[in-house]
Chain A
């Protein structure tokens, strides 16, 4: 009896937390279709008016494209470097191996403002120009860990004897990588890359420090809060930002769930 009440309370508590987590996202989505464009709740009527206006807005469109380019650039760098680091740590024993797994998580474990300040003072001190390239460098630095973590987790589950067998059968280093190692880690690399993309696309705390005058989508949103004539567009931009991070993350979790991990070609 006592146990049953406990179970019901637990279920209610869990449900309440889920509602708490999704409620604000639902509010932004509702506001994106709010005809009046003010923040008065409830919306008087729904329309696609602000979606059209957002598509027409050149500043918003440019910011969106900038974010896309920055996220793609950072993702490609993180994908290559994260995979290389994971292969090195998983396949070799060497001095400083522990230190690498520590250094990789550093950029994401320290408060964002520390990373932002460190990068921007470095850019200022070395006269490195701020802007899109600086954003890509900054984002890549804290995205490496996402690819690294995914790939190393996969490599730990793949038996090293597969690669030994490949070598025994006469395959050289390249062939073993191409036909054995890579097919095994492919979905993990992709999942890590999707997470890196989602993180980079949304990042604002570090980005503000290194962007110079360049506007990514989050920076555009941040600067438009206070502009009365753009507040309605912010809701639409928010909807886009939610979708562009939720979809990659959903795909990434599917890729790394145990059923999708067989890595066949």
Chain B
């Protein structure tokens, strides 16, 4: 720490100025990240909004930069779009419910049964597949579900058959892909419940199932909602898994097929659909206390 004495004076003077003027230091710290996020992200969201209110000239294919609500009336009135939106939302809801059901036993085991050591190992064991290449995981299911794949090979001797490619298969794949995003918040939520509450419930004569319904479930609801933000949002925004596993269209495929050459403004307008759905979802989730459980 003797370096303090020998520091060059110019640097030292700047340091003193920074120390005295907290605002200046704060400004320098924030300029980069805020500049980046506002320009690169908020800015591009605004340009997305702008594009969604533009239109495309049917003959020249060029974007006409005049504001119109044409894209939105198109989306609202075209039955194809409505079907696709409903299908995607139903899928997202189904995946979310399945993830919650599957996540509960393992999250409960991690939070309340496992030893400290096992707990640490399990957290890593859940984290690794969460981060393992998304595309490879989706592709793995293409291999598994294929006609001559593992699933039919396993089920064959039992006289059964896998779901194959299609919406049921996709539901399975989405559930697999987003399951860790549900397990981790749920585990954290279950771990926060004081043991004394469960003991009190048992002392007052509640059976396991009653304690679960009246004590555990209400306390863990924010964590469940927090996990559901991920499972819901990720399903809404995915177009890769649907294109690998099914031939059915979901919102993402619809956006991608209009992206670029066919109709960029329409694609922009369509992508506001998952955005609006997610904003409503986030507002409801905040009401339910999910943000404290993230």
Contacts and interface: CB of A to CB of B under 8 A. Distances in A.
A125 to B, nearest CB: 5
A114 interface: yes
Interface of A is mostly: helix
Contacts of B140: 24-25, 27-28, 238
Interface in B42-98: 42-45, 47-48, 50-51
A22 B129 contact: yes
B36 A7 contact: no
Assign chain A's interface to a size class.
Answer: 35 or more
Interface string A4-36: 001101110110011011111101100100000
B127 interface: yes
A242 B139 contact: no
A92 B48 contact: no
B158 interface: no
Contacts of B141: 24
B136 A221 contact: yes
A41 B150 contact: yes
A171 B143 contact: no
A85 interface: yes
Contacts of A249: 127-128, 131
B237 interface: yes
Nearest to B207: A2
Interface stretch (B103-111, B191-199, B217-225): B103-111
B200 interface: no
A253 B240 contact: no
A109 B277 CA distance: 13
B84 to A, nearest CB: 13
Contacts, number: 271
A175 B41 contact: no
A100 interface: yes
Given A14-B105, A103-B41, A117-B48, A225 B124 contact: no
B131 A195 contact: yes
B204 interface: no
A240 to B, nearest CB: 9
Interface of A: 2-3, 6-7, 9-11, 13-14, 17-18, 20-25, 27-28, 31, 39-42, 77, 80-82, 84-85, 87-88, 92, 94, 100, 103-104, 106-107, 109-115, 117-122, 124-126, 137, 140-141, 144, 148, 167, 169-175, 179, 195, 198-199, 201-205, 208-209, 218, 221-222, 225, 234, 238, 241-242, 245-246, 249-250, 253, 257
Interface of B: 1, 3-4, 7, 11-12, 15-16, 18-19, 22, 25-26, 29-30, 32-34, 36-38, 40-45, 47-48, 50-51, 102-103, 105-106, 108-110, 113, 120, 122-129, 131-137, 139-144, 146, 148-150, 153, 176, 179-180, 183, 208, 229, 233-234, 236-240, 244, 251-252, 255-256, 259-260, 264, 267-268, 271, 274-275, 278, 282
12 contacts: A80-B32, A81-B33, A109-B229, A109-B233, A111-B275, A113-B256, A141-B36, A167-B19, A173-B18, A199-B131, A205-B238, A253-B127
